[in-house]
């Protein structure tokens, strides 16, 4: 964490979308909030942007510049309206060969954010698929340029870089090493990290470990926020990152394909997801049919009904039916979870989240027995293994030597869990 961090966390940064204005007004004591630039601009004449800005201590705009090295934004007016939107998609090799263009682009991106009165600046960035992607080099140049411009403009707010990278990189400790080496010399106050196609429930334990290591190696004296991630973001905050960002109740994953033409991309279009109900004890969003089954008075899970029925102000009159109430319930639960984590000493947080994952595993088994609803749990085992591996390893840069065999740990956790179920 940066020694003077504006957002020490652990916190959940709500990423607001155009449909979320009422939540921005209602939840107005947040540490930090995130608004994608095209949404901030689109509604600037209305009130979403100011509601989000006024409802948090650190207002952040994602400049969404990663869209501009693809053709997809050309079909989207909201992107094209951004003052730094290029006429044609940016070729990073061309941009790198024209230092003045690179400087102008960076300045326009920063000025847009300053005009929006942000609390943290984000340097422009592109998505880099792997280590051979020329956009990776461009990203380093853009951050360096942003640092120079901030100084020249005499601006006194934190500047973060955004590492937006392919999940293939996370699979390899040596590649994670290279990313750390590339970014660690930059004098920014923090990094946002987005990994492409990184669904935390389905990615391998190697990829989870890669992301955890990337964060851990960069977090020494910088703020780290993991973007577009579900509950594994909470695990990472327990392990020392400042926070994680996601939309209200969406299971969102950034995918490169959404930047290409002909794609309707945004979470708000995937409405069925909004019907899911967040059960904090399971660290999961559960399908509405399954929620009904679990909490059915006659045939549901007794344990869940008696001990784990949500008592937030939305759920006191029963499980919410409307999308809005489900989102409100999610916001209340998520912020309560984060407040609980914040209240613990940093050295107690890994154990706390480990116990929560253990409970999630146990409850999933109980629910299956009592209500015949199967809650996926494989990922919890992988997440616990990451916590165990990292807490038993030395904090050293010698990654491969210091981490115990993750597969062995997973085997052990499965065994322990199996044993418990049989007794
Ligand atoms: Zn509730």
CA 282–ligand 1 middle distance (angstroms): 13
Which of 220-242 are b and which e, b meaning 16 or more Cβ less than 10 Å from the residue's Cβ?
A: eebbbbbbbbbbbbbbbbbbbbb
DSSP class of residue 120?
B
Ligand 1 (single-atom ion) residues, CB below 5 Å? 310, 312, 314-315, 329
Helix (H) or strand (E) holding 303: helix 302-307
Distance of alpha carbon 213 from alpha carbon 219, whole angstroms: 10
Q: What is the pLDDT of residues 118-132, one digit of tens each?
A: 999 999 999 999 999
341 falls in which pLDDT band (50, 70, 90)?
very high
Nearest by Cα to 134 from 175, 100, 92: 92
Q: Which is it for the CA torsion 141, 142, 147, 153, positive or negative? A: positive
* Average pLDDT, rounded, for the chain: 92
Domains of the chain: residue spans and CATH: 11-259 (3.20.20.105), 273-422 (no CATH)
**What pLDDT score was predicted for residue 263?**
63
Residue 315 near residue 329 (C-beta atoms within 8 A): yes
Q: What is the pLDDT of residues 155-208, one digit of tens each?
A: 999 999 999 999 999 999 999 999 999 999 999 999 999 999 999 999 999 999
**What pLDDT score was predicted for residue 419?**
66
CA 407–ligand 1 middle distance (angstroms): 36
CA 339–ligand 1 middle distance (angstroms): 16
**What pLDDT score was predicted for residue 80?**
94
**Residue ranges of the alpha helices (H) in 44-84?**
48-54, 77-80
Q: What is the pLDDT of residues 386-402, one digit of tens each?
A: 999 998 765 545 555 55
CA 278–ligand 1 middle distance (angstroms): 8
CA 25–ligand 1 middle distance (angstroms): 19
Say whether pLDDT at 381 is over 80. yes
Q: What is the pLDDT of residues 30-77, one digit of tens each?
A: 999 999 999 998 866 568 999 999 999 999 999 999 999 999 999 999
Mean pLDDT value across residues 246-263: 83
CA 375–ligand 1 middle distance (angstroms): 19
CA 304–ligand 1 middle distance (angstroms): 13
């Amino acid at each position: 964490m940066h020694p003077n961090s504006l957002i020490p966390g652990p916190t959940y940064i709500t990423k607001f979308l155009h449909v979320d204005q009422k939540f921005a007004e209602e939840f107005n004591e947040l540490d930090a909030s995130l608004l994608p630039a095209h949404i901030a601009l689109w509604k600037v004449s209305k009130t979403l942007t100011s509601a989000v800005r006024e409802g948090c201590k650190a207002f952040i705009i994602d400049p969404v510049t990663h869209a501009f090295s693809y053709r997809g934004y050309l079909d989207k007016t909201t992107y094209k309206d951004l003052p730094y939107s290029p006429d044609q998609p940016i070729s990073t090799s061309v941009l790198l060969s024209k230092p003045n263009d690179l400087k102008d682009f960076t300045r326009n991106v920063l000025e847009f954010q300053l005009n929006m009165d942000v609390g943290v600046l984000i340097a422009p960035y592109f998505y880099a698929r792997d280590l051979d992607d020329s956009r990776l080099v461009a990203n380093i140049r853009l951050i360096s340029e942003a640092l120079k411009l901030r100084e020249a403009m005499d601006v006194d707010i934190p500047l973060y870089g955004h590492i937006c990278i392919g999940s293939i990189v996370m699979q390899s400790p040596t590649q994670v090493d290279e990313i750390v080496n590339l970014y660690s010399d930059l004098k920014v106050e923090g990094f946002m990290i987005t990994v492409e196609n990184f669904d935390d429930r389905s990615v391998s334990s190697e990829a989870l470990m890669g992301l955890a290591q990337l964060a851990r190696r960069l977090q020494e004296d910088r703020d780290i926020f993991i973007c577009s991630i579900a509950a594994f973001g909470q695990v990472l905050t327990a392990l020392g990152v400042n926070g994680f960002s996601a939309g209200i109740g969406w299971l969102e994953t950034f995918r490169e394909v959404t930047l290409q033409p002909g794609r309707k991309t945004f979470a708000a279009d995937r409405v069925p997801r909004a019907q899911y109900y967040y059960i904090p004890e399971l660290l999961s969003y559960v399908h509405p049919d399954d929620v009904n089954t679990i909490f059915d008075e006659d045939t549901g899970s007794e344990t869940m009904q008696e001990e784990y029925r949500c008592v937030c102000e939305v759920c006191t009159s029963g499980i919410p039916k409307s999308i809005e109430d489900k989102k409100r319930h999610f916001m209340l639960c998520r912020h309560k979870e984060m407040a609980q984590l914040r209240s613990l000493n940093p050295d107690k947080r890994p154990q706390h989240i480990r116990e929560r994952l253990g409970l999630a595993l146990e409850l999933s088994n109980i629910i299956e027995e009592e209500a015949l609803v199967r809650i996926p749990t494989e990922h919890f085992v992988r997440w616990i293994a990451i916590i165990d591996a990292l807490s038993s390893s030395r904090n050293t840069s010698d990654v491969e030597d210091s981490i115990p065999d993750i597969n062995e740990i997973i085997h052990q956790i499965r065994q322990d869990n199996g044993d418990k179920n049989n007794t």
